[in-house]
Chain A
Amino acid sequence: MTTQEVRLCGLLLQEHFGNVVEKVGTHLIRSGVLTLRALAHETKLPLDLVKKSLCVLVQHGMCTFGAGRRGPAGPVEYRINCEHVFHMLRYPRYIYTAKSLYGDTGELIVEEILQRGHMTMSSTVKTVADRLTHNMPEGQSMDYSEVVSVFSQLVETHFLQRCPPLASAGSSSSGAVDTPLPVATQPTEPESHPDCYKLPYINLTGQGKRRRSSEDGEADQCCGDDDGIYWQVNFQRFHLHFRDQAIISAVSCKLDQSSSEIVRTMLRMSEVTTPAHAAFTQALSANEIFRALLSSYNIARPILDQYLSLLVDDPMEFVGKTGDSGGGMYVVNLHRALANLARATLESVVQERFGSRSARIFRLLLRKRHLEQKQVEDFAMIPAKEAKDMLYKLLSENLVQLQEIPKTPDYAPSRTFYLYTVNQLPTARLLLQHCYKTVGNLIERRLYETKENKRLLEKSQRIEAILASLQATGAEAAQLTEVEEMITVPERQQLESLRHHINKLDSSENQVDETIFLLKSYINSTQASL
């Protein structure tokens, strides 16, 4: 865990769960694994608060627990899953994807499950139906069956999965009452469970209720037929979806809309057959692709063949040809596409930071691997002095490395080749750390801005509350304007600029997160293929 990652985890935990959980979480990340007592002792927090924080973290899947070093008889040890904490940054994107695929119902289902960590199907359906009913006009209400159908669609396409059952690694002592040993349980991988995507058979009929009618508050207090079967969001599936989206948009940018549609069809066909970490999709024949193409795209068979050969010949190598049977067997090269996308990101970063000529040098070094100072100047067609300057600048930023090749066993500088080189993977990791630092800075700046203007924000909220209540009771326009004028014009301007800044900071966070996703997928793909 790097410093920047720990810092970002802390900020995200604080934003969502408060200071206490942040303290507990960051300490646990820094220490690796700890027992409950050690954690409480080291953070100097009351034991109950530590227990509550751990409950929250376990509920959301960010903390795992297991039998400690002393075996099943010893105290339980806890560990934080940092990747899961970073997913919190991406929640809006998951929810938006669910909305674009399954409409408002899907959006609300995913939102509820994300906010609560994991939920049973019945409680999710009830809560979502109530929320939808609340926004419908009077007299209408949302039927449970509609929500259930959207839920089952989400499960079928693997966007939701069951929480893995806990396999008990040890047995609790049967007789001892005075010192009950904690049952050391270890959650298993969700996919290894055979019923991972099986919907429970529950009889759920009814309609969403408006909150005004008499009803007990907590929806998950009601015990349904599916107690104990919890559902969580399958982040990996969402990530595969984002990856596919990135590839499709890259193809449409590089070539044209029709080729991107062809790639979209190919990816859709191989959704279920391709395992998560595969380097390329299953081979698809051109005949199959033609049959699967939607008629709305209006692509004739010979045109399809031309497009496919164009895609294969493209230097980005999104699509590859693996055989000639069935009109040609084609695959989508997933890992290579990710590598190319990551490379494009790196080049774009260098270009925006150091100018297009430095970017030219960077691209040159990426392609030609090792070059001497003189060769860089010649190939890039940049005057020597400026080329030297740019190279040293890139070197100081660690984007370019220097490789020594000695001619003699003593590394005498006059008899050594000094070659400049760029390694894509370490540079991608470096950039990923920069991204984490960036998001941390953005969050801190936003907190600072909010704190600076706290008084003004509170005042404006009070005024709005008064306005709202006045309007509800039907006050006259004069009264409303009088209340509105309590905020002076310069204060209004200040509020407006504050809102603008915070929107900008939030938007930047979302955008940096897209880069984080791309770089992380690339790095994971290189590790998977090892």
Chain B
Amino acid sequence: MAGSRGRGRSQFSFSVDALGFGRGDCLPSSAHTPSPLYPPMQFRPVPLHTGEEVDYMLALKQELRASSKNLPFHIKAARTKTDVARYSDKYQNGETKNNCIEWSPDWSRMPKELCIKVRKPRKTVIGAKPQLTRKPKAAAGKEEVLQKLEKREEEQHSEEEEDEEKKKQNEEEPDADEDYDEEELEDETDYIMSYFDNGEDFGADSEDNMDEAVY
């Protein structure tokens, strides 16, 4: 770009007028270090757009981000058990396993080699419960299974914090119901599954983004 400018010889072979500086002027000092990581800005940036449209799209963006974490497309590697095998493992809520997929794609549209076992959603008896008793049960269930529902509460409460009208308000409530039922009726024990906390979760989440709070 700058071309053959002197090539390091002390005697400049071109007419310096053509480049716009006089003979005696000192050239700007050459840089000895890489430019700073956050150079000071000469001019302040223009403020962001505001308005109803902007706010709505912002809310949509945050909502999409939160809900995409709950969809089956969000793939998490199964946690390898590092400790000894524990008795409570048998009754733990089915964690994601590597060899099954949580949704059922149309296999005819995918290459055959990608075919993987589809994990049946563990929805146990739901219809038997009458509708009226659901709401207080759900509330009680929420309080007790606070730990497990953190992820879903994130979605619910990030909506509550925003000012715009939301479409999905209580989507987790039925999920909580089903989760609650699932736990209770699972494997004929008398105990609620969430009471078992074998301490594995403590400290194990540091690398995992699973419980990362979503705003």
Give chain B interface residues in 28-87, CB to chain A under 8 Å: 28, 42-43, 45-46, 48-49, 53-54, 56-58, 60-62, 64-65, 67-68, 71, 73-77
Contacts of B43 in A (CB 8 A): 352-355
Contacts of A31 in B (CB 8 A): none
Contact A465 to B61, CB < 8 A, known contacts A115-B67, A354-B42: no
Contact digits for A70-111, partner B, Cβ 8 Å, 1 yes 0 no: 000001100000000000000111011000000010011001
A21 to B101 CA separation, bound complex (whole angstroms):
13
Contact A134 to B170, CB < 8 A, known contacts A454-B213, A465-B142, A510-B58: yes
Interface of A is mostly: helix
User: Do B101 and A55 touch (CB < 8 A)?
Assistant: yes
Asked if B95 is at the interface of the complex by the 8 Å CB criterion, the answer is no
A65 to B67 CA separation, bound complex (whole angstroms):
28
Contacts of A388 in B (CB 8 A): 20-21
Asked if B2 is at the interface of the complex by the 8 Å CB criterion, the answer is yes
Give chain A interface residues in 436-486, CB to chain B under 8 Å: 450-451, 454, 457-458, 461-462, 464-466, 468-469, 472-473
Contacts of B212 in A (CB 8 A): 450-451, 454
Contact A216 to B71, CB < 8 A, known contacts A18-B209, A413-B14, A450-B213: no
**Nearest CB to that of A50 among chain B residues?**
B114
CB-contact partner of B114 in A55, A115, A373, A411, under 8 A: A55
Asked if B110 is at the interface of the complex by the 8 Å CB criterion, the answer is yes
User: A373-B18, A412-B14, A473-B139 provided; 20 other pairs, C-beta below 8 A?
Assistant: A18-B74, A20-B75, A46-B77, A48-B116, A55-B114, A58-B105, A58-B114, A65-B111, A92-B57, A214-B126, A372-B18, A395-B1, A402-B2, A413-B14, A418-B3, A450-B214, A461-B153, A464-B157, A466-B146, A509-B61
User: Do B110 and A55 touch (CB < 8 A)?
Assistant: yes
A78 to B42 CA separation, bound complex (whole angstroms):
46
Asked if A16 is at the interface of the complex by the 8 Å CB criterion, the answer is yes
User: Do A52 and B14 touch (CB < 8 A)?
Assistant: no
A402 to B58 CA separation, bound complex (whole angstroms):
42
Asked if B178 is at the interface of the complex by the 8 Å CB criterion, the answer is yes
**Nearest CB to that of A19 among chain B residues?**
B209
Give chain A interface residues in 24-55, CB to chain B under 8 Å: 36, 45-46, 48-49, 51-55
Interface contacts (Cβ under 8 Å), in number, total: 244
Contact digits for A201-228, partner B, Cβ 8 Å, 1 yes 0 no: 0000000000111101110110000001
B189 CB to nearest A CB, Å: 24
Chain A residues within 8 Å of B, Cβ to Cβ: 15-21, 36, 45-46, 48-49, 51-56, 58-60, 65, 75-76, 91-93, 95-96, 104, 107-108, 111, 115-117, 131-132, 134-135, 163, 166, 172, 180, 182-185, 211-214, 216-218, 220-221, 228, 230, 352-355, 372-374, 377, 384, 387-388, 392, 395, 401-402, 404, 411-414, 416-418, 450-451, 454, 457-458, 461-462, 464-466, 468-469, 472-473, 498-499, 502-504, 506-511
